[in-house]
Amino acid sequence: MDTKTNIAGNKSLVAVLVERLKTLWNKVIHIGIDDDTTTFDKRRTRLLNGICTWAFLIYFSYVLAYAGHKDSWFIVNDSLIGVFGYSMVIIINHFRKYALACHGFIIFNLFFYLEQAVTGGIVTGVEYIFVPSCVTSVLFFRTPRIILFYFLANLLFFGLAKWSFSHMQPVFNYKGQEQSIFIANHITMFVILFMIVYYFKTENIRQEKLLESKNVSISNEKQKSDKLLLNILPFETAEELKQTGTAKSRSFKMVTVMFTDFKNFTLTSEKLTPEELVSEIHHYFSTFDLIMKKYNIEKIKTIGDAYMCAGGIPEENTTHPFDVVMAALEIQEFMLQKKKEKENANELFFELRLGIHTGPVVAGIVGTTKFSYDIWGDTVNVASRMQSSGQEGKVNISGSTYQLVKDRFTCLYRGKIAAKNKGAVDMYFVEGPIEPPTLA
């Protein structure tokens, strides 16, 4: 048990240590980066801070390793120069001089490693650091002339280093330390190469996450816009509008249209504050919307206190007369309940006239801004007359609608009623659905 506990404790300690090292590393490579830093500067600064941190650690370890060796003072000197040079690059980044830090890094590399090659000779292999250093210039700059200049400079200094091996004697004699210096320089080279590859990998992951986040954001915004569009237009019309930029009008041979209007709305509304009035109308119309959804009826529009809807569009069906009449009965039942509640609370209440007519219409959208789905035709006019000729609390339907629903609803014939600009029109009050016979 104790052994397992110790192992678990050690794993936990290692996990904590690794997490802290990650946190420290993340802070180091983000030195000089803030919210105002551009994306390009963030990328090259992270890469540059990472390379310089590793190079700093390598040369600092050599300072510690050779500090007590009198014969290796030149190694300590070179290492101190490396510690100073790479730390200065990070300091420059700290002050957000990103371009200066990149120029400083490459120029320092050129002269620092040429000096090591000339003074130390071929045994150190330092000249190969010019190869990854050349690549970094491509990542640090966007201007082709600067990239080409540093490419040629690294190529030139690489050639000078190679030339010095055959034409110059080493200044310093390492006396058995060649292998150590050789390893150090190659570690530096591999660190630079590793950081370049790591840079591409992390940036690729970063960009994938950013792209995924943007895609999610775009998808969410699209859903919001689609939902908003569907609140304004029917699905088929909205899809056609998104795909073509316009929507063709359609003719429907048989549609049931309903209009509602509040009685004495103007007089009643004068006794309410604007906020109270809007709140009341919103409450009523929101309930109407729910009823329309329940019976698959398309809300067309509201005009002041008038509410207009139609069954049988944009998808044609054969049940629209019954659906609209059922919805109308439910609306008047809701209005009756609200009237009782308001009377009991001694508050103002609204009463509703409601009219229905069935016939052909043309449906579509007009204009180029603030699209609105609407219907036109004599059927709309007759339905409006059914509303204005109706009575509060009643469902007033035309003769054409009655012929379609008479077998499903009990209706009271009102006779031929004069309708504005329509002459005498047959009208009926719907009293309720016909109850199916009960078995004895």
What secondary structure does DSSP assign to 280-296, as a single string? HHHHHHHHHHHHHHHTT
Any domain includes 235? no
State which of 66-80, 216-230, 372-386 shows the largest mean pLDDT.
372-386
Q: Which residues of 13-32 are buried (b: 16+ CB within 10 A; e: fewer)?
A: eeeeeeeeeeeeeeeebebb
- How many C-alpha atoms does 212 have within 13 Å on its Cβ side? 6
- The whole-chain average pLDDT of the chain stands at 86
One domain, residues 350 and 292: yes
One domain, residues 141 and 253: no
Place of tokens 């004699």: 173
In the chain, the largest separation of any two C-alpha atoms, in whole Å, equals 124
Nearest 10 degrees: Cα torsion 184, 190, 193, 195: -80
One domain, residues 197 and 272: no
Which of 49-63, 136-150, 262-276, 419-433 is predicted with the least confidence, judged by mean pLDDT? 262-276
Read off the pLDDT of residues 185-214 as tens digits, 9 standing for 90 and up.
Answer: 777 778 777 777 777 777 777 778 888 888
Structure tokens at 217: 């954001």
Write down which residue in 161, 193, 214 finishes a domain.
214
Any domain includes 388? yes
Q: Are 364 and 374 in contact (CB under 8 A)?
A: yes
The domain that contains 289 carries what CATH number?
3.30.70.1230
Looking at per-residue pLDDT, the higher value among 226 and 402 belongs to 402
Q: Are 280 and 272 in contact (CB under 8 A)?
A: yes
Whole-number pLDDT of residue 102: 94
Whole-number pLDDT of residue 384: 93
Q: Are 158 and 131 in contact (CB under 8 A)?
A: yes
| Nearest Cα residue to 313 out of 407, 395, 246, 233 | 233
Mean of pLDDT values over 260-288: 87
Binned at pLDDT 50, 70 and 90, residue 1 comes out as low
Write down which residue in 192, 214, 236 finishes a domain.
214
Any domain includes 238? no
> Helices 98-120 and 130-140: crossing angle, nearest 10°?
170
Asked whether residue 276 carries a pLDDT value surpassing 80, the answer given is: yes
Q: Are 406 and 301 in contact (CB under 8 A)?
A: no
Q: Which residues of 141-166 are buried (b: 16+ CB within 10 A; e: fewer)?
A: beeeebbeebeebbeebbeebeebbe
Whole-number pLDDT of residue 124: 77
Mean of pLDDT values over 384-410: 94
CB atoms closer than 10 angstroms to residue 108: 19
CB atoms closer than 10 angstroms to residue 240: 16
Whole-number pLDDT of residue 321: 95
Any domain includes 239? no
Between CA 329 and CA 397, with CA 379 as vertex, the angle to 5 degrees is: 30
Whole-number pLDDT of residue 166: 79
Which of 11-15, 334-338, 359-363 is predicted with the least confidence, judged by mean pLDDT? 11-15
Whole-number pLDDT of residue 189: 77
One domain, residues 184 and 302: no
Any domain includes 199? yes
Mean of pLDDT values over 69-84: 86
One domain, residues 191 and 320: no
Mean of pLDDT values over 286-309: 92
One domain, residues 25 and 167: yes
Give the count of domains, the chain.
Answer: 2
Whole-number pLDDT of residue 86: 94
Any domain includes 195? yes
Whole-number pLDDT of residue 364: 83
One domain, residues 253 and 201: no
Place of tokens 């509640």: 341
Any domain includes 223? no
One domain, residues 384 and 307: yes
One domain, residues 390 and 259: yes
Structure tokens at 145: 């002339």
One domain, residues 72 and 193: yes
CB atoms closer than 10 angstroms to residue 360: 12
Whole-number pLDDT of residue 390: 92
* Helix (H/G/I), strand (E/B), else coil: 141: coil
Write down which residue in 214, 239, 263 finishes a domain.
214
| Full domain range(s) for residue 404 | 247-433
Cα–Cα distances (Å) from 369 to 41, 239, 372, in that order, read: 42, 17, 9
One domain, residues 205 and 345: no
Looking at per-residue pLDDT, the higher value among 348 and 433 belongs to 433
Looking at per-residue pLDDT, the higher value among 227 and 400 belongs to 400
Q: Are 43 and 140 in contact (CB under 8 A)?
A: no
Mean of pLDDT values over 370-392: 89
Q: How far apart are CA 257 and CA 375, in angstroms?
A: 9
Q: For residue 32, which phi and psi values (nearest 5 degrees)?
A: 90, -5
Any domain includes 378? yes
Mean of pLDDT values over 277-293: 92
One domain, residues 115 and 205: yes
Asked whether residue 307 carries a pLDDT value surpassing 90, the answer given is: yes
